[in-house]
């Protein structure tokens, strides 16, 4: 059933990634042009929602941003309104500020909110719909770990960055006859490491879904040193050895997910050099994967997601998330979208293909 939308809010939550501005543009332009609605940008995700920071967007604000990385609205992964961190005399206090979000939503006169983000943002959106807010979600994560959509925008751009990095590292590794470890993002899902590793011709790929055995890796790179004389190892930040654990770089109680992974690349490189005596180097891509212009695929997907999210809101399909299924963008219930993470199946065709061309997964 169609509803009248006079004021629509947009926010971007969680980590930034290429394609966010393409989505913002594809919501704001048709909202301003075809339904004559006011478009309210909430600054810095749900953190800005709690603190009451907004700006009204015009056509000029969203002109020429389809190829722009990052987000013109800003974002934050420390603003979960249900577990909102506040600095107090005794340290960080975590409080429930969700009612304040609902109050701001009503005070700003919003008829609908389009929330763009990953699993954390979708969880928050789902909980806020229970408090009466009209929300449509748009899935975003470079990790590609939302199970309810075939792919999320941002992933393809990150994959291209990681693949190019492996291409560049391969030339220097072969020139100096070294082992080079490249650590990419992927906390619990190894899609970036797997895709970039296969596309870039990595010799070893380590992902969270397949715990690895140290001796298998040592033996593999030692044998390669007698032939090809170099090895490229692509490791996801969430990879871990058999009977081992994730490497935690730091913990921040203000973050929606307080655990920050990182450091497995350094450990893998150090262990290889120590055990095999092969000269080993490590490169950590980090936030390079999140930066820069979105790929053509992400610009197109982001544009489709944004326009279809606005259509869903206009039809009153709230409590949903837009999703790519095959070639079509559809809507799924938010509660279904957040049920499971999209992990790499150990028996997937891509892993089978990688093994067939000689890739070692350390198992």
Does residue 320 surpass a pLDDT of 80?
Answer: yes
Task: Kindly report the length of the chain.
Answer: 363
Does residue 45 surpass a pLDDT of 80?
Answer: yes
More confident residue, 3 or 34: 34
Question: Which range (64-78, 219-233, 247-261) has the least confidence?
Answer: 247-261
| C-alpha span between 223 and 334 (Å, rounded) | 49
Does residue 244 surpass a pLDDT of 90?
Answer: no
Q: Which pLDDT score is estimated for 231?
A: 94
Strands 84-88 and 320-325: unpaired
Domain 7-153+294-337 matching CATH 1.10.3470.10: the answer reads no
Q: Which pLDDT score is estimated for 227?
A: 86
- Cβ(46)–Cβ(79) under 8 Å? yes
How much is the average pLDDT of 62-66? Answer: 96
Q: Which pLDDT score is estimated for 90?
A: 73
Active site residue 167: no
How much is the average pLDDT of 291-311? Answer: 96
Q: How confident is the model at residue 124 (pLDDT cuts 50, 70, 90)?
A: very high
Segments making up each domain of the chain, as ranges: 7-153+294-337, 158-291
| C-alpha span between 178 and 68 (Å, rounded) | 37
How much is the average pLDDT of 103-132? Answer: 95
Question: Which range (7-21, 195-209, 237-251, 286-300) has the least confidence?
Answer: 237-251
How much is the average pLDDT of 184-194? Answer: 94
Q: How confident is the model at residue 1 (pLDDT cuts 50, 70, 90)?
A: low
Does residue 43 surpass a pLDDT of 90?
Answer: yes
How much is the average pLDDT of 107-120? Answer: 95
Q: Which pLDDT score is estimated for 245?
A: 72
Q: Which pLDDT score is estimated for 108?
A: 97
How much is the average pLDDT of 225-229? Answer: 89
Active-site annotation holder among 80, 119, 143, 145 = 143
Could you give the percent of the chain with pLDDT greater than 70? 95
Does residue 249 surpass a pLDDT of 90?
Answer: no
Q: Which pLDDT score is estimated for 3?
A: 82
Q: Which pLDDT score is estimated for 260?
A: 58
How much is the average pLDDT of 127-155? Answer: 94
Residue 177 CA to chain centroid, in angstroms? 34
How much is the average pLDDT of 242-258? Answer: 64
The answer to whether the 7-153+294-337 and 158-291 domains have the same CATH topology is yes
Q: Which pLDDT score is estimated for 150?
A: 92
Mean pLDDT of the chain: 92
Q: Which pLDDT score is estimated for 114?
A: 98
Does residue 53 surpass a pLDDT of 60?
Answer: yes
Per-residue pLDDT tens digits for 68-92: 999 999 998 888 999 988 877 777 7
Q: Which pLDDT score is estimated for 49?
A: 95
CATH fold group of domain 158-291? Rossmann fold (3.40.50)
Per-residue pLDDT tens digits for 265-283: 999 999 999 999 999 999 9
């Amino acid at each position: 059933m169609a509803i009248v939308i006079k004021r629509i809010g947009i926010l971007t939550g969680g980590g930034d990634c290429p394609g966010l501005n393409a989505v913002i543009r594809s919501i704001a332009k048709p909202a301003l042009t075809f339904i004559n609605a006011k478009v309210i940008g909430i600054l810095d995700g749900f953190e800005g929602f709690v603190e009451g920071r907004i700006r009204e967007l015009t056509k000029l604000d969203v002109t020429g941003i389809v190829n722009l990385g990052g987000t013109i609205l800003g974002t934050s992964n420390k603003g979960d309104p249900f577990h909102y961190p506040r600095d107090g005399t005794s340290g960080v206090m975590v409080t429930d500020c969700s009612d304040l979000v609902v109050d701001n939503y009503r005070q700003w006169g919003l008829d609908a909110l389009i929330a763009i983000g990953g699993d954390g943002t979708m969880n928050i959106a789902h909980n806020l719909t229970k408090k009466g807010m009209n929300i449509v979600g748009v899935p975003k994560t470079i990790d590609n770990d939302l199970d309810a959509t075939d792919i999320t925008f941002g992933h393809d751009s990150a994959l291209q960055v990681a693949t190019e990095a492996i291409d560049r590292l391969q030339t220097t590794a072969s020139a100096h006859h070294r082992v080079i470890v490249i650590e990419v993002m992927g906390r619990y899902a190894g899609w970036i490491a797997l895709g970039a590793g296969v596309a870039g011709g990595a010799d070893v790929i380590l992902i969270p879904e397949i715990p690895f055995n140290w001796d298998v890796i040592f033996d593999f790179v030692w044998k390669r040193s007698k032939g090809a004389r170099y090895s490229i190892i692509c490791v996801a930040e969430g990879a871990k050895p058999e009977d081992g654990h994730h490497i935690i770089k730091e913990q921040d109680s203000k973050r929606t997910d307080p655990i920050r992974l990182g450091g497995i690349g350094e450990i893998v490189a150090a262990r290889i050099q120590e055990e095999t005596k092969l000269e080993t180097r490590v490169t950590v891509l980090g936030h390079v994967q999140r930066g820069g212009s979105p790929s053509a695929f992400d610009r197109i997907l982001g544009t489709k997601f944004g326009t279809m999210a606005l259509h869903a809101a206009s039809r009153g399909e709230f409590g949903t998330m837009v999703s790519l299924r095959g070639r079509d963008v559809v809507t799924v219930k938010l509660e279904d979208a957040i049920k499971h993470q999209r992990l790499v199946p150990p028996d997937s065709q891509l892993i089978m293909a990688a093994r067939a061309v000689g890739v070692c997964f350390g198992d």
